[in-house]
Structure 1
Amino acid sequence: MELQASEQERNQKSLIKRIRELNLKTVAYLTFLYILQGIPVGISTAIPLILSSKKVTYSYQGIYSFTRWPFSVRILWAPIIDRFFIQKIGRRKTWIFICQFMSGFLMLSTASLVDAVISTDMANRKSGIYILTAIFTVLVVLSATNDITLDAWSIDLLPEKNAGLQSLCNSVGMSIGIFIGGSGFLIFEAAEFSNKIRTFFNVKNQHYGLISIQKLFYIMGTALVITSISILKFKSEQSQKKLKTDEEQALVQKNAHLTSNFSIIDTYKLLWKILFIKPIRIWIILMITHRFAFSVESAFNIKLVEKGVAREKLSLIGAILSPIMSWLPLILIDLISRTKPLKLFRSFFILKMVCIAAFGIFLFFFDHFRDNNGKFSLVFYIILAIWKLVDGFFSSATSISLGSFNAHISDRLISGIYMTFLSFWPNIGANISRTSILFILNLITIPNCERDSKFGNITNTTFLGQRNSHKNQCSSLFEPIYPLTLVVCIFAAIWLLLSTKYFNRLQKLAKSEWEIKLES
């Protein structure tokens, strides 16, 4: 009994030690900052749905779509963020304070304006679209700039062995923030859903939701301002525990010397120097090409709608799953700190491809889930929800694994530039593959339409629109999503076989191999 008690005590002490080593307080703090960063982005993604409900034209929606650009091109100003800062405040705190305070101030000062613009009939008001585009572009630029700095600060605050947790903080925090500002806001902004809550609490129903965009701006704006001031006053730039080591003290001193001697042109030249690191070139090719294995997923929701699944039901499933998917990656927290990230990535990559193949099979047996009236059974929606949950988890796991590796290899002297540079290439690969697969899908969709003088010659370019409007006239000769799913699965298998030796080689490289030689 004494031996058993002693063993339990040792296990308990080991668990406590393990928890301390994971720096959970720092992880929680960084996750909170990423949540705040994600909320303005989430609100910006909700606006197009509000505009659609007001019958805003596609051209006006196109104008607003410019708000999506800043996160994709933030590499353009990342060198500026790494070069200029207020010495007294600190290299990272300077920009985090500026971005959060300005975001909060902008939200507080424009809350009434944004609410007034959205509340009016915007169908023919280009000025309103320009106002929204300007405000949200600035907010997203500030969030993207904050992301550059927060990524670098995360690496500074977390110990070397736990640097991989940075990607977990980013993934979980941004997911929660985007959900709060996007789907969460839309749910409680809807009068119908809000009235169900009011009825439950015996409160009189109203024609408006529980929260408006004006209230959300006031609440989030206040939170951002208070947080920015608290960071300025109470949070230290570096982990004091880390600064006790000679290595970290030397790093801080070298940072100060480096930034005081570099011009802005020299800072931009760092991007070119990173590009010419030999393992980086291999890494870029792997990051761009691996996204093609996931490309067919961008067509899955389109196919679901084409086959008769209501968009509102897909949105409802997404809203229900979003909170779960935001927190689910937390189960990886211990695994990431103990496992080599590229080995972890390959495992999740395989599981992700299994999910994609499974969904292709699910689509093939799609009609088996319809009743005689063409409606889908409850089993169908349960399977769809489970698939989305599992697939979303593996998507997050692959991204977190790669982010963990990026954090480990990032040169801490220029971590803001370096981390932004590394995350740029998977995004490029995702955008190229997503566009390519939709173009290919359109190209190989062969229409089989009854000849009708009022339709003329129907091509695959106009096929989808004609089929939706005249379901009895058009059908496809074959469903192209099936061969495309097979092709990407074969591509993924070949890519995995060819890339394994390169991943093994990159994982074994010393961190010095990823560093650039800077002139003192």
Structure 2
Amino acid sequence: MPDGGAPSPAISRSSARKDSPLLPRSSSDSSSSASSDMSQDRPANLKKDLGKFILLVLLYTLQGVPLGLVFGSIPFLLKSKLSFSEIAIFSLSSYPYSLKLLWSPIVDSIYFKSIGRRKSWIIPIQAITGIWLFSLGGTVDKILTLDELPVWSLALTFTTIVFLCATQDIAVDGWALTLLSRENKIYASTAQTIGLNSGYFLSFTVFLAFNSHEFCNKFIRSVPMDTGLLQLGPYLQFWGVMFLLCDLWLIFVQREETDSESTDDILTVYKTIMRVCLMPHMRQFIVLLMIAKIGFIANEAVTGLKLLEKGFHKEDLGMAVLIDFPFQLLFGYYAAKWSNGPKPLSPWLKAYYGRLLFAVIGMLVVAMFPTGGVTTTYLIIVITSTVLSSFMSTVQFVGMGSFFSKISDPSIGGTYMTLLNTLSNLGGTWPRYFVLKAVDLFTDSTCSLNDPVTNEAIQCLDDHTRHLCKNIGGVCNTARDGYYYVGTACVVFGLAALVFWINPVIQHLDRLSDHSWKLKKQEDKDAKPRLKKQAGKDSARSGKARNQD
């Protein structure tokens, strides 16, 4: 994914919504080459491939479900028992989606011809994921009731699930371009967008709402209860069964056509990636992608959790996302028109100022949290900031995506686009762990009374320790809230980077011709005969000179 991030100071979902899986990647990677082929073909007719299109949507939906949990719901469920430092550990589980370029050449190159190039990977991954989810569903609810959660075990478990989904995503992206007929390839990215958004939406917005006993008691039940209608365990088991049922369909019903497309060997792909990264202006661009999102990463990673800590309800967060969703689609349309020009990074740069502004607004929204609980006015403020921040995020995403498409070398389009998207994703992923850790590091919040058992000071860093302090008759005194220190530091860094690095580099990159981003592969090939011919001439001249002597 090119760019993006959490669209609001209220909702932390940057990696999932845009920086990671929710919009077209590999299917668009080949759009330039595919479109030239399709221009000579018949008009698109989706009815012809409707069943295959539905299969693609289902495959992408299945991938989106675990991602919506990891990037969205589970951090909110864990926050009541984990500090920000421990949430930082769990955030490591999102890394595989930002690093899948490292093993994507392997997925593209190694397969069993008897099974199919893509099904060789999709079938075993779906089986493993389905069994894993079903097994995890039988124990996870008991684990979440523990006073001390095994955060490293949870992080490792969901890291494995995200790794499986990322690997399947590589195979499904490739299959999407051969599963559909040539005239319908344009619908591959549509299937991806619908499927991943649907899976994420189900696991974040819908799951959080039905998991909340407040939401269920208010809108669904006539008799209040202490638990929501939907618990994490049964939810995981349901989707585990869906993974297995889809896998059976792939094994016994859906066959894969023989892929006639030639593939480069693994080493050649890695060498190509290295050559792209070593281009002088690409090195500048990589640095830009690695630091560009630091300015608002605290807002995206921490603000939603901080609101939850203050007393904002999970179902209200889900409702804010629900309201924001149609605005994302509308903003995407207008952002695409705005970015459709010779300088697509220009709107990206303007939206950068907006995202820094909303990072500041996010801290103000947290600071003005009502002492008596969430009011209607405050909820409207949160939703409004969510929608407006979403606009800035969408403009940046579309602008950077347009720039990626503009500069990608058609001769290696898939590899080039995947590299750029991976770098952009990584730029929004790597700072998250350190920002979450820093919030606890700079926070000074202790209980007025010591622990009666250990006689040690109680650090009020999560709901468990705050309740412990309250139960012994103490009060949590916060001398310093690290969220504001880290958030301010991020904004200051982002503003300084914008003035002294990002803005000058963007202006320079916008002036470069598209040709300057292309690998000089063909020129090198053409140079060899010329060099041989020139060497022959030089040799002839030398021989002639010797004869004259």
- Please tell me the TM-score bracket, short chain as reference: 0.5 to 0.7
- Aligned match of 1:503: 509
The 5-angstrom pairing of residues 34-183 of structure 1 reads 34-44=60-70, 48=74, 52=78, 67-86=93-112, 94-95=117-118, 97-110=119-132, 112-120=134-142, 136-151=158-173, 173-183=195-205
- Aligned match of 2:279: 277
- Aligned match of 2:30: none
The 5-angstrom pairing of residues 289-438 of structure 1 reads 289-298=291-300, 301=303, 304-305=306-307, 309-311=310-312, 313=313, 315-331=314-330, 332-333=332-333, 336=336, 339-340=339-340, 343-358=343-358, 360-361=360-361, 363-364=363-364, 370=370, 374-411=372-409, 414-435=412-433, 437=435
Query: Alpha carbons of 1:137 and 1:428: their partners in 2 closer, same or farther (altered >3 Å)?
Result: closer
For 1:347 and 1:86, how far apart are their aligned partners in 2?
Answer: 45
Tell me by how many angstroms 1:144 deviates.
0.7
Residue 207 of structure 2 is aligned to residue 185 of structure 1: yes
Tell me by how many angstroms 1:383 deviates.
0.9
Tell me by how many angstroms 1:229 deviates.
6.7
- Aligned match of 2:255: 232
Deviations 1:404-462 (A, max 9, x none): 433454456655543332223223322444455557767777x69999999xxx99xx7
- Aligned match of 1:17: none
Is the contact between residue 101 and residue 228 of structure 1 (CA under 8 Å) also seen in structure 2? yes
Tell me by how many angstroms 1:387 deviates.
0.8
Tell me by how many angstroms 1:85 deviates.
3.7
- Aligned match of 1:475: 479
For 2:438 and 2:520, how far apart are their aligned partners in 1?
Answer: 40
Tell me by how many angstroms 1:37 deviates.
2.1
For 1:209 and 1:387, how far apart are their aligned partners in 2?
Answer: 30
Tell me by how many angstroms 1:107 deviates.
4.9
Is the contact between residue 299 and residue 362 of structure 2 (CA under 8 Å) also seen in structure 1? no
Is the contact between residue 37 and residue 174 of structure 1 (CA under 8 Å) also seen in structure 2? yes
Deviations 1:183-209 (A, max 9, x none): 423433556655666647xx9989773
What is the total number of aligned residue pairs between the two structures?
A: 463
* Counterpart residue identity of residue 178, structure 1: Y
Is the contact between residue 166 and residue 404 of structure 1 (CA under 8 Å) also seen in structure 2? no
1:232 is paired with a residue of what secondary structure? Answer: coil
* Counterpart residue identity of residue 485, structure 1: V
Is the contact between residue 293 and residue 489 of structure 1 (CA under 8 Å) also seen in structure 2? yes
Deviations 1:87-144 (A, max 9, x none): 5776xxx22x344433443355456533322354577799999997776555422311
Tell me by how many angstroms 1:498 deviates.
0.8
Deviations 1:6-51 (A, max 9, x none): xxxxxxxxxxxxxx99979599776665333212323445784698
- Aligned match of 2:240: 217
Deviations 1:228-285 (A, max 9, x none): 876635x896xxxxxxxxxxxxxx7xx52x53xx3x4344333322322344323212
For 1:450 and 1:335, how far apart are their aligned partners in 2?
Answer: 49
1:510 is paired with a residue of what secondary structure? Answer: helix
Query: Alpha carbons of 1:441 and 1:132: their partners in 2 closer, same or farther (altered >3 Å)?
Result: closer
Tell me by how many angstroms 1:502 deviates.
2.5
Tell me by how many angstroms 1:487 deviates.
5.1
For 1:66 and 1:444, how far apart are their aligned partners in 2?
Answer: 21
Normalised by the size of structure 2, how large is the TM-score? 0.63
Is the contact between residue 73 and residue 203 of structure 2 (CA under 8 Å) also seen in structure 1? no
After the TM superposition, which of the residue ranges 320-329 and 476-485 deviates more from structure 2?
Answer: 476-485
Is the contact between residue 66 and residue 203 of structure 2 (CA under 8 Å) also seen in structure 1? yes
Query: Alpha carbons of 1:140 and 1:386: their partners in 2 closer, same or farther (altered >3 Å)?
Result: same
2:310 is paired with a residue of what secondary structure? Answer: coil
Q: 1:265 aligns with which of 264, 267, 271?
A: 267
Report which of the two has the higher share of helix.
Answer: 1
For 2:504 and 2:355, how far apart are their aligned partners in 1?
Answer: 21
For 1:324 and 1:229, how far apart are their aligned partners in 2?
Answer: 41
Query: Alpha carbons of 1:158 and 1:111: their partners in 2 closer, same or farther (altered >3 Å)?
Result: closer
Normalised by the size of structure 1, how large is the TM-score? 0.66
Q: Please, which runs of 5 or more residues in structure 2 have no aligned partner?
A: 1-40, 527-549
Tell me by how many angstroms 1:354 deviates.
2.1
For 1:119 and 1:236, how far apart are their aligned partners in 2?
Answer: 44
Query: Alpha carbons of 1:380 and 1:146: their partners in 2 closer, same or farther (altered >3 Å)?
Result: same
After the TM superposition, which of the residue ranges 141-150 and 125-134 deviates more from structure 2?
Answer: 125-134
Query: Alpha carbons of 1:165 and 1:290: their partners in 2 closer, same or farther (altered >3 Å)?
Result: farther
For 1:158 and 1:65, how far apart are their aligned partners in 2?
Answer: 36
Residue 518 of structure 2 is aligned to residue 513 of structure 1: yes
For 2:323 and 2:518, how far apart are their aligned partners in 1?
Answer: 39
2:61 is paired with a residue of what secondary structure? Answer: helix
Tell me by how many angstroms 1:509 deviates.
0.8
Is the contact between residue 198 and residue 205 of structure 1 (CA under 8 Å) also seen in structure 2? no
Q: Please, which runs of 5 or more residues in structure 1 have no aligned partner?
A: 1-19, 238-251
For 1:127 and 1:486, how far apart are their aligned partners in 2?
Answer: 35
For 2:226 and 2:305, how far apart are their aligned partners in 1?
Answer: 37
For 2:45 and 2:167, how far apart are their aligned partners in 1?
Answer: 25
Bigger RCO of structures 1 and 2 (CA < 8 A, at least 6 apart)? 2
For 1:383 and 1:346, how far apart are their aligned partners in 2?
Answer: 29
- Aligned match of 1:286: 288
Tell me by how many angstroms 1:388 deviates.
1.5
Tell me by how many angstroms 1:347 deviates.
1.4
* Counterpart residue identity of residue 316, structure 2: I
For 1:50 and 1:514, how far apart are their aligned partners in 2?
Answer: 45
For 2:85 and 2:489, how far apart are their aligned partners in 1?
Answer: 34
* Counterpart residue identity of residue 118, structure 1: V
Aligned identity (percent) is 20
